[in-house]
Structure 1
Amino acid sequence: MIPALMAMPYVGPFLAFATSRFGFPLIVAGGIVLVYEGVPIGPLRYIPYAGPALASLVDGRVDREYAHGQLAERLVWQEQQRKALAQLAAKAEAKQKEIDAAAQAYVDQQNTDAVRIADLEQAIRDQKDEDLGPPDPKSPDQKTGPVCRAGIPARVSTQLDAVGR
């Protein structure tokens, strides 16, 4: 009861102003601004735990819509980031498949080349055996065979060049 008595000297002049010709429109305008803009709490908004709770009590309509817009934009951005990451992952997977295919083709080529090289080496040995043939009776040294042996045939040499040896 005592606080009410202490406030009496201030209530009378306020009521007189609020009901006056200029006071009523000012109080209505102030109320509208307070509803839309809220109470400015400044840096109190950044106090952990208490700041967001206080802000939710005193924020006006503008601040609530601003927070709603921020949330909507954040969700759109996160969705775009998720899609971009999915596209990057798909591209990386496609590139990895290309690399794996190239590596497999290289291994297959190496296996094929190994078989071709073995065939060519056998052809060279066969050709050397044919070139040596029986010893020439007119040769001065019948133990060593001919001094000059025939070179590699052109077909074998071309095939060796294709293999890269």
Structure 2
Amino acid sequence: MGALSAIPYIGPAIDFATSRFGLPLVVAGGIVLAYEGVPIGPLRYIPYAGPALASLIDGRVDREYARGQLAERLVWQEQQRKALAQLAAKAEAKQKEIDAAAQAYVDQQNTDAVRIANLEQAIRDQKDEDLGPPDPKSPDKRTGLVCRAGIPARVSTQLDAVGR
């Protein structure tokens, strides 16, 4: 019933649209509508229906704005990817430095262990030389010395170098 009551208004609207003053207004309105589109406001954020509605009635300005947003987002994502790759490369380089330092430490520990064992053996050999040959009459089977000899200077300096 409402559509039938609108019919009497269509004739005068068409007459005005085709008149001398109405035609430029209709053309200007059409141009603005084509560029700006129909403002739908918050309807744009309705899931599924909002984007579909926006794609139908958005104007050229909104489409270009969305295209620009997409281009900027892609540039930003590429910059983020490059920054993350640089951070990963820096972290990998630092990890390699840490691994090299740890390996050098382990190698030094192994070298020191061998040097310490050799020095301790040299100390035992030196003590054996200082004690002399075994004496069957003494309780500890060695010739008794009143004073034990100190560590030789070369062994002492080598021990100092190792850190013991």
Deviation at 1:96, TM superposition (A): 1.4
Deviation at 1:121, TM superposition (A): 0.4
In the alignment, the residues of structure 2 paired with residue 90 and residue 136 of structure 1 have an alpha-carbon distance, to the nearest angstrom, of 70
Per-residue CA deviation, residues 107-160 of structure 1 (Å, 9 max, x unaligned), is 111111111001100111111122222599999999761221121111111111
Structure 1 residues 116 and 8, CA gap change in structure 2 (3 angstroms): same
Deviation at 1:47, TM superposition (A): 0.8
In the alignment, the residues of structure 2 paired with residue 74 and residue 113 of structure 1 have an alpha-carbon distance, to the nearest angstrom, of 58
TM-score, scaled to structure 2: 0.86
In the alignment, the residues of structure 1 paired with residue 97 and residue 141 of structure 2 have an alpha-carbon distance, to the nearest angstrom, of 61
In the alignment, the residues of structure 2 paired with residue 158 and residue 86 of structure 1 have an alpha-carbon distance, to the nearest angstrom, of 50
Structure 1 residues 132 and 25, CA gap change in structure 2 (3 angstroms): same
Kept in 2: contact 1:139–1:146 (CA 8 A) = no
> Which ranges of structure 2 fall in alignment gaps of 5 or more residues?
none
In the alignment, the residues of structure 1 paired with residue 19 and residue 105 of structure 2 have an alpha-carbon distance, to the nearest angstrom, of 95
Kept in 1: contact 2:37–2:59 (CA 8 A) = yes
SS of 1:89 mapped into structure 2:
helix
Deviates most, 138-147 or 82-91: 138-147
Deviation at 1:103, TM superposition (A): 1.3
Deviates most, 51-60 or 139-148: 139-148
Instruction: Count residues with an aligned counterpart.
Output: 162
Kept in 2: contact 1:136–1:146 (CA 8 A) = no
In the alignment, the residues of structure 1 paired with residue 147 and residue 34 of structure 2 have an alpha-carbon distance, to the nearest angstrom, of 112
SS of 1:33 mapped into structure 2:
helix
TM-score, scaled to structure 1: 0.86
Structure 1 residues 61 and 142, CA gap change in structure 2 (3 angstroms): closer
In the alignment, the residues of structure 2 paired with residue 143 and residue 52 of structure 1 have an alpha-carbon distance, to the nearest angstrom, of 102
Kept in 2: contact 1:120–1:156 (CA 8 A) = yes
1:100 equivalent in structure 2: 99
Structure 1 residues 18 and 133, CA gap change in structure 2 (3 angstroms): same
Per-residue CA deviation, residues 29-66 of structure 1 (Å, 9 max, x unaligned), is 11111000000011111111111100000000000001
In the alignment, the residues of structure 2 paired with residue 123 and residue 136 of structure 1 have an alpha-carbon distance, to the nearest angstrom, of 23
Kept in 2: contact 1:139–1:145 (CA 8 A) = yes
> Which ranges of structure 1 fall in alignment gaps of 5 or more residues?
none
